[in-house]
Structure 1
Amino acid sequence: MATGWAGDGAVQDQIDATVDEAIQRARAQLRDGPGLTHCEHCEAPIPEARRKAVPGVRLCVRCQEEEDAAQQEGSSYNRRGSKDSQLR
């Protein structure tokens, strides 16, 4: 579906680029190796079950949730920049 001056596959190309960028960001955040026994932010103990489930874990659940929420706030933008989204 072409709109305006965009090529036939422009919308799908844009979607693919967005997904690829999200995958690259997620892979960059993956850690490997043994996790910490205590959270690097608040020093709370990290349970062994969490260390086994999340290789390379560095944060307790509470701090991880706060960090995830902060990242979500900064990454929510409309790539297409439609007029409707700019009015919100």
Structure 2
Amino acid sequence: MRLSCGRTGSCHDNAVAESFFATLKNEMYYRGSFATRADTKHAVIRFIEAEYNRKRPHSTIGYQIPAKAMEAFFERTRPTAGELPMAA
């Protein structure tokens, strides 16, 4: 199975995507063997959710762990008591 990124955009977006896919290939894909596409898909999701987003600091978000950065974002944007949420 070939893992690649087909998106285009600014050089900064592409650098982040290339870095992610290099990490995914080196730390997950090349270390395992997968019988089916479904097995590969589950392994990728497990890697992203359990390892990449929960343990690895990322330079693009100030060397924070993505899960912690997301928690902080939701905490900052949570409506206070009596405040109505903004409509989309």
Of structures 1 and 2, the one with the larger relative CO (CA 8 A, separation 6+) is: 1
Q: Same fold (TM over 0.5)?
A: no
TM-score by length of 2: 0.34
Higher share of residues assigned helix:
2
Of structures 1 and 2, the larger Rg is shown by 1
TM-score by length of 1: 0.34
